[in-house]
């Protein structure tokens, strides 16, 4: 028997109501949600990848500041300010006049020192000439005394020989007593000449001793010349101190010098800020292993957002910042608390563009990043 299968009647399809005029049909929410989630996932992945690329193996710190040499300009001598040809924030070059002091007293001292030196030199020349003349005279007198003494001795020897010969002949009856008397007189005269030549020799020796005295006087005069030269040099230095000049290039700040003001040695008149800044970055002690002198560094300064400066690690401090504090901590006490220490690294900046040459001032906050070696 053949069975008959009847098909079930189809369910009626609901009629779609026509959309109201001016109202767009609502889209299906599921596809848009999936697109948004996919885009967020891709963005998060790209951000994570970018962060890993820029921060993996990199040590950074935001505890950093721009630094530069700050030179306090002061006077080395007391005086009165007569002119201040510079103003605050002005760029100056090495050797440029910053402050002029009243130099009249210093000029007077310089003229006095020049006169004293001239007088000392003339006295030294006179004593040197006198010592030379005394030496020449003593040498001539000594030579003359030596010659006279030699002649007197020769004459005495001859007179003694004649006297002995005549006395012998007198005993033999060969000569008269008168001839013997004349020989004795000649012998006595020769003795007198020898005595006189010996006295002349002593005078020559005294003249030689005077030469030594005159030489000492000349040496003392030469010492007075050197002393006068030193006083003249000091007077010139005192005069030069009336001009206070810039020791290096930089910009003027904290200017307090005014014409007519009395100043004392060491009194600050203005501050010279060097035009060669650097960055001092304070890294944690756990980052110390990543620091090597000479490695490259990147610097971001808060005052110039988006601007990256290049530099290199110039040096690393030999001790932590707490060791250089006025009162270093004593961890030997019973209330010890471990604190992560900071070590300072000096970052030398590469040559700066002209737009930042005068805008990069000390005290600006910075962020420094170095890559591990």
In a domain, 129, yes or no: yes
Model confidence at 130: pLDDT above 80: no
Mean pLDDT within 223-231: 93
Mean pLDDT within 83-98: 95
The DSSP output letter for 323 is G
Among 88-97, 145-154, 201-210, the range scoring the smallest mean pLDDT is 201-210
Model confidence at 348: pLDDT above 90: yes
pLDDT of residue 310: 94
For residues 138 and 203, give the distance between their C-alpha atoms in angstroms, rounded to a whole number.
Answer: 9
In a domain, 35, yes or no: no
Q: pLDDT by residue (tens digit) across 23-32?
A: 445 454 567 7
C-alpha separations of 19 from 24, 25, 216, 256 in Å: 8, 7, 132, 84
Dihedral class, residue 240 (left if φ above 0, else alpha if ψ from -120 to 50, else beta) = alpha
Residues 94 and 160 in one domain: no
Beta strand spans in the chain (E): 58-67, 70-74, 79-83, 91-92, 97-101, 243-245, 250-253, 262-263, 268-274, 278-284, 296-301, 308-316, 342-349, 365-371
Residues 290 and 373 in one domain: yes
pLDDT of residue 354: 78
Q: pLDDT by residue (tens digit) across 45-71?
A: 766 665 555 555 789 999 999 999 999
Residues 108 and 236 in one domain: yes
Q: pLDDT by residue (tens digit) across 289-311?
A: 888 899 999 999 999 998 999 99
Mean pLDDT within 320-326: 81
Instruction: Specify the number of domains making up the chain.
Output: 2
Closest residue by Cα to residue 368 from 350, 353, 347: 347
Tokens of 238: 């005192």
For residues 97 and 327, give the distance between their C-alpha atoms in angstroms, rounded to a whole number.
Answer: 41
Query: Please, what is the Cα angle at 137 between 135 and 143, to 5 degrees?
Result: 100
> Domain containing 182: what range?
104-240
Please count the other Cβ atoms lying within 10 Å of the Cβ belonging to residue 358: 12
Domain boundary among 240, 273, 302: 240
pLDDT of residue 150: 75
In the structure, what pLDDT confidence band is assigned to residue 216 with cuts at 50, 70 and 90?
Answer: confident
Our measurement of the distance from residue 113's CA atom to the centroid of its chain's CA atoms, rounded to an integer in Å, reads 29
For residues 104 and 217, give the distance between their C-alpha atoms in angstroms, rounded to a whole number.
Answer: 36
Residues 149 and 224 in one domain: yes
**The domain spanning residue 134 has which CATH number?**
1.10.287
Average pLDDT, the chain: 81
In a domain, 29, yes or no: no
Alpha carbons within 13 angstroms on the beta-carbon side of residue 309 total 28
Domain boundary among 178, 211, 240: 240
Residues 209 and 307 in one domain: no
Residues 174 and 280 in one domain: no
Residues 254 and 360 in one domain: yes
More confident residue, 220 or 196: 220
Which residue matches tokens 């007189």? Answer: 185
């Amino acid at each position: 028997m053949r069975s008959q299968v009847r098909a079930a009647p189809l369910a009626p399809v609901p009629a779609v109501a026509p959309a109201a005029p001016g109202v767009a049909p609502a889209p299906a929410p599921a596809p848009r949600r999936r697109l948004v989630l996919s885009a967020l996932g891709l963005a998060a992945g790209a951000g994570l990848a970018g962060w890993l690329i820029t921060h993996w193996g990199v040590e950074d710190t935001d505890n950093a500041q721009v630094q530069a040499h700050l030179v306090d300009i002061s006077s080395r001598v007391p005086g009165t300010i007569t002119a201040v040809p510079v103003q605050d924030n002005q760029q100056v070059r090495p050797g440029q006049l910053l402050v002029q002091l009243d130099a009249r007293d210093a000029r007077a001292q310089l003229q006095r020192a020049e006169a004293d030196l001239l007088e000392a030199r003339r006295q030294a020349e006179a004593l040197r000439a006198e010592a030379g003349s005394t030496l020449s005279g003593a040498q001539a007198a000594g030579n003359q005394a030596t010659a006279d003494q030699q002649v007197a001795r020769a004459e005495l020897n001859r007179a003694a020989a004649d006297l002995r010969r005549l006395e012998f002949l007198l005993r033999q009856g060969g000569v008269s007593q008168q001839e013997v008397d004349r020989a004795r007189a000649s012998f006595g005269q020769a003795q007198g000449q020898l005595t006189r030549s010996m006295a002349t020799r002593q005078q020559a020796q005294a003249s030689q001793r005077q030469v030594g005295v005159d030489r000492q006087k000349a040496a003392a005069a030469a010492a007075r010349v050197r002393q006068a030269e030193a006083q003249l040099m000091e007077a010139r230095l005192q005069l030069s101190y009336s001009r206070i000049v810039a020791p290096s290039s930089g910009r003027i700040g904290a200017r307090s010098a005014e014409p007519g003001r009395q100043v004392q040695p060491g009194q600050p008149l203005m501050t010279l800020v060097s035009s060669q800044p650097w960055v001092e970055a304070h890294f944690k002690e756990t980052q110390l292993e990543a620091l090597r002198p000479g490695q490259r560094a990147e610097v971001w300064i808060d005052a110039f957002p988006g601007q990256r400066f290049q530099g290199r690690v110039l040096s690393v401090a030999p001790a932590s910042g707490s060791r250089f504090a006025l009162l270093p901590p004593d961890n030997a006490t019973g209330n010890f608390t471990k604190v992560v220490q900071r070590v300072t690294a000096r970052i030398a900046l590469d040559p700066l563009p002209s737009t930042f040459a005068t805008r990069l001032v000390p005290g600006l906050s910075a962020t420094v990043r170095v890559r591990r070696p």
